[in-house]
Structure 1
Amino acid sequence: MEKISRTFQALLPRSLRMRLLMFLLAAIVLAGAVQGVLAYRGALEEADALFDYHMQQTALALRSGLPVDAQGLGPGLDPEDENHEFIVQVWTNEGLRIFESAVGAALPQIAVLGFTNVQARGGTYRVFSMQTRSQVIQVAQNMAARRDMARSLALRTLAPLAIMAPLLVLAVWWGVSRSLAPVERVRRQLAKRQADDLSPVSDAQLPDEVQPLVSELNLLFERVQHAFEAQQHFVADAAHELRSPLAALRLQLQGLQRAGDDAARAAAIERLSAGIERATRLVEQLLTLARQEASTAVNDPVDLRATAQLALADVAPAAQARSMDVGLLDSDAATVTGNAEALRMLARNLLDNAIKYSPPGGQVDLQVRREGDHAVLTVEDSGPGIAPEHRERAMQRFVRVTADGAPGSGLGLAIVQAIAQGHGATVALDSSARLGGLRVTVRFAAAKP
């Protein structure tokens, strides 16, 4: 059955206009055929009833108008004028025919009163017989002629349908074309557009069934426009930021080539290695940011406290190298909806920034709390913090507003912001009253239990 359905779908035209016209015209033809057959049969039955009625009325009109002729003679038509399609005969009760409307008609006298069919003269006759006190009247009609007249009447009833069917087809074609005209207008608008034209498509006068599609298309254009703009800014910023590390690497390579002794050569190699590490870190962060902005949403339940513990394990070597106290404060069990790896990266970037911009021997605390219907992840450090007027800029790409000389590319908080936005969360920067440095708060909508 499914195979038949697929085959049928494959045979259908791809054009919506042609499909509508095909189905509507098929429905019109089928309905017209059924109506024509029913009308034709009904007209035949009505014609038969009408002819029977006329035969009956003719017999009633002759009840008292014919005198009995003992010779069995009666008036008759001239043989040249004989018409055997309609015959009237009158018999006495003794069986003597005293009248016939056509000479030599010689229909048999039948004993059945009322209507019956009789085989005579090489054909079938419809006969109505009625008996009076003195005679029997028979009115007969040739069924062949009767059917011809009935068909003629029936075909006349089909004439209006034959005239209206083409008009109905034209009306359907006009109605379908007019209904799909706004869709064709949208198609022409899109066909004339340049590749970079993402302005909204007009949805004026569109059918209710098509308007949601155009609305979603406009929303898609808007998202693509934002993505293009973000990509353009990203490429411009990345090109600008990569220029400096690459220039520094070139200078460090030249210094290595000019080194005159082993000590100078070792120092140049160390500087070159550090430069390569910074460039590698910058490229990794750029790729991470690009993946986060392009990734699709994942709606899995994630244990935020367990994810925070994994992020702490990731940054433990860096914290140990700087002799820093990094730990998880007393936290609540909280489940959010999202991507576990992305949330782990969010917490790891916050911890990495706190470790990087805090002085050696400082403190960084991570905590997860539940506040009503929200799960809150907080990272506090004992570093210099960020001045209130610079906090909004600090969330932008390649912006570094703290700790002059500290290594970094200014992408850590931008990655955090991208991940948070993908999870419907908000990021807030303020001062840590307990440690004196920066406090970053990420507020999620908690998953329903």
Structure 2
Amino acid sequence: MKSLRARLLLSLLAAIALGVLVQAGLSYRAALAEADAIFDYHMQQMAQALRPGLPALPPGDYGPLVQGQESPEFVVQVWSADGVRIYESNGGLALPQRAVLGFANVRAGGSTYRVLSVQTPLQVIQVAQDMAVRRAMARTLALRTAVPIALMAPLLALAAWWAVGRSLAPVERVRRQVAQRRADDLAPVDGAGLPAEVRPLVDELNLLLARVEQAFQAQQHFVADAAHELRSPLAALKLQAQALQRAPDAAAREYATERLSAGIDRATRLVEQLLALARHEAQATAGAPAQPVALADLARQAVADAAPAAQARAIDLGLAPLDAQAEHATVPGHAQALAILLRNLIDNAIKYTSEGGTVDVQVLRAPGHLVLAVDDSGPGIPPAERERVLQRFHRAPAEGAPQAEGSGLGLAIAEAIARLHGARLALGTAPRLGGLRAEVHLPLAGEGAA
């Protein structure tokens, strides 16, 4: 593929060559016409100088008729009124005596002549010029006009080459800047001095580099977090497996097996949450377009999915009745991400609610928003800890909470997904149950707000 420089140079050189050829051709034709007019004028001047007539002398006694004007290129003949040729400047050429008055082209002596015949009271004056000589002289004069124009083509090509190089110098600078970068250098490209036609491309490239850098940082954070959080569960699983191997009797083996199974469940849950966090960050970085999502349907599905875990601990899990507005309202977003948000909030409420407690899920319509609220009858979170628990891997101590081992990712993932949807996860006190209320205000979609 040809470079932009080559395409510009070829286009400019072609335009210059065409322009020079056309201009040279037009100048050549104009110079030929001008030369013809000059020669005709010169013949008229010579004939005009002879209009007074010649004295009656023998033909051989005439000298040059027009001093300084006769030349070998012109032939002069003078005829008397009775048809006798009384003068000729070229004895070997016989022009016809009765030529048409004025200018005419006449064949004589094997050549074509341009002849001017002028009638005076006593004589006919003829001035002739060989057309071959005339054309040769005219071409010489025309070439003297056209050649300088043609010689301008290399200078114009050099100027075009310099102008293209100077105009593309910023582009070449950016190319070298990008080519010399390391693979992990995602800093914005310096677009200073770039042409206005190229600047938007660099701006979009910088936006792409920013998104790639975000994805790269998210990947680094994920790897670091995963390595940090998986180290302890895996070490615990190893210890539990060793305890199972050293169990002295069946009761000890059964107890060790239960501990190992619980450890595997916790590790599985941690891996699931880490993968959910990775999927969310990838989705946020990719900037996938939002779609209208029926939050009521997602809430019903999330409650149904969490029902077995709630029943295992005799927790009353339910979805509060929805009014017609909340039932049919939609929010712009990503259904899979919102489902993860709901699941994490409900799982967190079940985990920290004592057996026999209550967890309520509500979807409420508010002006311009749809409110998702999850209330529980657990111990809640102290106000001083509510902001900190939204950070990754932070576990808040809660008095009266059941012995639940969490990863510290559930609320952090829910907060990140809420931010992706232009909302915030707010933590407070459940007004009826007295435990924790987790509440998200999601902006309504256009059709939901109608």
Unaligned residue ranges in structure 1 (runs of 5+): 1-9
Change (3 A) 1:389 1:63: farther
Alignment correspondent of 1:201: 189
Alignment correspondent of 2:310: 319
What's the CA shift for 1:110? Answer: 5.0
Alignment correspondent of 1:363: 358
3-state secondary structure, aligned to 2:127: strand
User: Which residue of 259, 262, 284 corresponds with 1:271?
Assistant: 259
TM alignment of 1:23-34, pairs within 5 A: 23-34=11-22
Alignment correspondent of 1:256: 244
Residues 1:292 and 2:280 are matched in the alignment: yes
Alignment correspondent of 1:7: none
Q: Is this contact kept in 1: 2:306–2:343, CA < 8 A? A: yes
Alignment correspondent of 1:5: none
Alignment correspondent of 1:428: 426
Alignment correspondent of 1:245: 233
Change (3 A) 1:129 1:395: farther
What's the CA shift for 1:74? Answer: 7.7
What's the CA shift for 1:305? Answer: 2.6
Residues 1:168 and 2:156 are matched in the alignment: yes
Change (3 A) 1:131 1:268: same
User: Which residue of 189, 198, 205 corresponds with 2:177?
Assistant: 189
Alignment correspondent of 1:125: 113
Change (3 A) 1:258 1:155: same
Q: Render the CA deviation track for 1:88-145: whole Å, top value 9, x for unaligned.
A: 2333455443332322221224543333322322222222333344443332222211
RMSD: 2.8
Alignment correspondent of 1:448: 446
Unaligned residue ranges in structure 2 (runs of 5+): none
Q: Is this contact kept in 2: 1:334–1:368, CA < 8 A? A: no
Letter aligned with residue 152 of structure 2:
M
Q: Render the CA deviation track for 1:49-73: whole Å, top value 9, x for unaligned.
A: 222232233333332243577x877
Change (3 A) 1:255 1:50: same
For 1:434 and 1:58, the matched residues in 2 are separated by 126
Q: Is this contact kept in 1: 2:357–2:378, CA < 8 A? A: yes
Moved more, 236-245 or 438-447: 438-447
Letter aligned with residue 393 of structure 1:
R
Change (3 A) 1:153 1:379: farther
3-state secondary structure, aligned to 1:180: helix
3-state secondary structure, aligned to 2:93: coil
Letter aligned with residue 108 of structure 2:
A
Q: Render the CA deviation track for 1:281-321: whole Å, top value 9, x for unaligned.
A: 11121112112211231333322332333323322322333
- When normalised by structure 1's length, the TM-score is 0.86
Letter aligned with residue 309 of structure 2:
A
Change (3 A) 1:113 1:432: farther
For 2:41 and 2:429, the matched residues in 1 are separated by 108
Q: Is this contact kept in 1: 2:307–2:317, CA < 8 A? A: no
Residues 1:379 and 2:377 are matched in the alignment: no
Q: Is this contact kept in 2: 1:76–1:102, CA < 8 A? A: no
For 2:141 and 2:378, the matched residues in 1 are separated by 105
What's the CA shift for 1:183? Answer: 2.4
Alignment correspondent of 1:6: none
What's the CA shift for 1:207? Answer: 2.4
Letter aligned with residue 127 of structure 1:
V
Q: How many residues align?
A: 433
What's the CA shift for 1:48? Answer: 1.9
Identity of aligned residues (%): 64
Change (3 A) 1:427 1:107: farther
3-state secondary structure, aligned to 2:431: coil
What's the CA shift for 1:249? Answer: 0.9
Residues 1:87 and 2:75 are matched in the alignment: yes
3-state secondary structure, aligned to 1:409: coil
What's the CA shift for 1:169? Answer: 1.9
What's the CA shift for 1:242? Answer: 0.6
User: Which residue of 195, 199, 202 corresponds with 1:214?
Assistant: 202
Letter aligned with residue 424 of structure 2:
T
User: Which residue of 293, 300, 311 corresponds with 1:302?
Assistant: 293
